[in-house]
Amino acid sequence: MKALVVALLLFLPLLAQAQADEVPASIQEFIEARNYAAAFSTPAERAELATFNSRDEVLEHTNSERLANVFARLLLLSERTLELDPGMVVQWGSPPGGAFGALVEALVPSAIVAIEQTYEPAPNRLVVQVKAHRFLRDTNLELINDYTPDGSVPELSPGDILASGAQIMTWIQVGDTWMKRTGVVETLNN
């Protein structure tokens, strides 16, 4: 793990040479969906949602608008994730009857992320550096308790944050949409 962190820290200065101007709307939408799902559901609820096929099915079985809305966000995340070498490191297979991969916690860990910088190492590729704020279980339950269907994810106070750290997300443009790539280390062509 330390080697990965050191490699990323050494790699970031090279990326700074190709900093991008703005974050595309489809990446912003992905980040917002990820934060929404993390804030308004527990890891156990997300694992349960992975077994459903549609938002309507979630509503029928749970009678929860909140969980149906979280399901819609999880579906968007799975549709915008490009799996490279699936099954090599992590099993991404869908559970029987599920709409998306069983490894929901990989798509949505219990953390709120904020975009810090974007880099364009090559045409149609973006590297997005985010700050991930892992939150306390009690904070998660408070967010769920305060949930409103049209509400947005509130800012976390320092007392709500268990830990924070930098993360790197890599993206590739497919048509007009940016797809998050999994299991990739991006390099620059200098």
Domain boundaries of the chain, sorted by first residue: 18-181
Q: How many CA atoms does the CB half-sphere of 29 hold within 13 Å?
A: 16
d(CA 46, CA 50): 6
Residue 134 has a pLDDT of 92
* 186 Cβ contact list (under 8 Å, min separation 6): 15, 121, 125, 127, 168, 170
**pLDDT value at 63 more than 90:** yes
DSSP secondary structure letter of residue 159: G
DSSP secondary structure letter of residue 94: P
The amino acid occupying position 155 is E
Helix (H) or strand (E) holding 170: strand 161-174
- Place 109 in a pLDDT band, splitting at 50, 70 and 90: confident
**pLDDT value at 87 more than 50:** no
Predicted TM-score (pTM) of the model is: 0.78
Tokens of 9: 């820290």
- Place 176 in a pLDDT band, splitting at 50, 70 and 90: confident
For residues 8-27, average pLDDT = 61
Could you list the beta-strand ranges (E) of 45-176.
81-82, 111-122, 125-135, 161-174
- Lowest mean pLDDT of 18-22, 84-88, 91-95, 97-101, name the range: 91-95
Q: What is the dihedral of CA 53, 54, 58, 60, to 10 degrees?
A: -110
Which residues on adjacent β-strands are paired with residue 36?
none
d(CA 164, CA 12): 18
